[in-house]
Structure 1
Amino acid sequence: MRAAVGLLAAVAVLTGCTGGLEATPRGEVIPVADREPAPEVGGELVGGGTLDPTATAGVVTVVNFWGSWCGPCRVEVPELQGIADAHPEVAVVGVDLRDQEQFAQAFLDEQGITYPSVHDPSGELAAAFAAWPATQTPSTVVIDADGLVAAAYSGPVTAADLQRALDQLD
């Protein structure tokens, strides 16, 4: 039964069912009093190695769900890389969904992505974010330094949107 519930949650995440939650308006953040704890972000990385969840503890973290097969992801990754380059104090983490690892690695190499990307072919990490509308690829979740979800954006995000959100988290 537990496996079936987990599978249903993963399917909902990967197919776009949000359960009625709405995305945060672009560049806006959720009021502090309304924020909820974020799931831990970690796992096996594309290309090898592991991202330990403690690596993002205590820092603002931008989590982007992407796939090498996703056209809008190709458009937004330079924006995310720009944020990662401009803000070394912010942890930018990609989560590669529904991908074969060799395609994911080729995508990262082709795009020149230097921030870590967790390989999540089964959608397990994405399912942990099912309470927020990170159900579309691409989607981006911003986690504040206290480990609370500060924003969740469905669809491509721009560096300007992220910068406005980050400015509100200072």
Structure 2
Amino acid sequence: MNPHPPSESSSARSKPEKSKPEKSNLGIWFLLLACLCLAIFFIRANRGSGSGSSAAVGKPSPQIDLVALDSGKAIDMDEAAPNGSVRLLHFWGTWCGPCRMEYPHLAETAVGLSADPNFRFLPVSCESGAGETMGGLAEKTNQYFARESITSPKLADPRGITRQSAAERLEQPSLYYPTSMLIGPDGTIVGVWEGYTPEAVDEIAEASKKLLSEI
């Protein structure tokens, strides 16, 4: 999971003159590392699920306030994703490693699902930080799409309204990346996938097809 762009530091590598740690200290560090790995495993297992365990499932759709990334034109949601349709709202970013791993498969799956006129894919390309402009975001997104040969809508949330509303539904201060919300025809959230797992896209496809078959 990637709530924020990764940062790197080389300070730990620049002090060769330090003596080696005591063996007892090494043991403590290995124990802490093992505990951290276990914690990450369990958090990822929980957040990588689209099950009903998410706090958002059963709640109304978040407020959706999006623009076309290339033009900046506001999206008319009554036309783009009308009530009664199955909507997949997806938050991702080119700066997010797990997002880049998942997005080609997800976009390809969404193309197949879009053969049903009742399915709508709403992928939101998100900024890497507060200083990034919409122009810069569009350029990075277009470069990534060209490099990966992706065909997909390109949407943005310049005012942050959609992300904040989604985080509120999840009862979190902010979103993890990537995050997918599947919204049923009645306007309620029926599934949430936070973070990347190899099986997530297949789960999303299966859940979407089930909803579409019931319309």
Q: TM-score range by the shorter chain?
A: 0.7 to 0.9
Task: Indicate the residue corresponding to 1:45 in structure 2.
Answer: 68
What residue number does 1:8 align with? none
- What SS does the aligned partner of 1:152 have? strand
1:124 aligns to what?
Answer: 161
Which amino acid in the other structure matches residue 81 of structure 2? T
Once residues 207 and 94 of structure 2 are traced to their aligned partners in structure 1, the CA distance between those partners, rounded to angstroms, is: 26
Q: Aligned pair in 2 of structure 1 residues 142, 24: CA closer, same or farther (>3 Å)? A: farther
How far apart are residue 129 of structure 1 and its match?
0.6
The CA deviation string for residues 35-65 of structure 1, in whole angstroms up to 9 with x for no partner, is: 1210243421221243221111221111110
Contact 1:28 1:165 in 2 (8 A): no
1:76-121 alpha-carbon deviations (Å, 9 max, x no partner): 1122112212111321111111243221222233333333232225
Cα distance in 2, alignment partners of residues 79 and 42 from structure 1? 25
Are the equivalent residues in 2 in contact too, given 1:76–1:156 (CA < 8 A)? yes
User: Quick one: distance in 2 between partners of 1:168 and 1:156?
Assistant: 22
One of 130, 133, 143 as aligned partner of 1:106: 143
Return closer, same or farther for 1:70/1:122 CA change in 2, 3 Å cut-off. farther
Distance 1:108 1:125, change over 3 A: farther
1:74 aligns with one of 93, 100, 114: 100
Structure 1 stretches of 4+ with a deviation exceeding 6 A read none
In structure 2, the residue matched to 1:164 is 206
What CA distance in whole angstroms lies between the structure 1 residues aligned with 2:209 and 2:201? 12
- Percent of aligned pairs sharing the same letter: 24
> How far, CA to CA, are the matches of 1:28 and 1:111 in structure 2?
30
- Contact 1:98–1:123 at 8 Å: present in 2 too? no
Q: 1:24 to 1:144 in 2, by over 3 A?
A: farther
User: Which is higher, the Rg of structure 1 or of structure 2?
Assistant: 2
Paired letter, 1:108: F
Q: TM-score, normalised by structure 2?
A: 0.59
Greater share of strand residues, 1 or 2? 1
1:5 matched residue in structure 2: none
CA distance in 2, matches of 1:123, 1:112: 28
Maintained 8 Å contact 1:27/1:160? no
Indicate conservation of the 8 Å contact 1:97/1:122, yes or no. Answer: no
Task: Classify the secondary structure of the residue corresponding to 2:64.
Answer: coil
Alpha-carbon contact 1:94-1:116 (below 8 Å) kept: yes
SS for the counterpart of 1:50 is coil
C-alpha RMSD of the superposition: 2.8
Q: Deviations over 1:7-47 (max 9, x none)?
A: xxxxxxx66xxxxxxx67635457xxx61210243421221
Shift of 1:67: 0.7
> Does the CA-based 8 Å contact 1:80-1:92 persist in structure 2?
no
Comparing 127-136 with 61-70, greater Cα deviation is found at 127-136
Unaligned runs of 5+ in 1: 1-13, 16-22
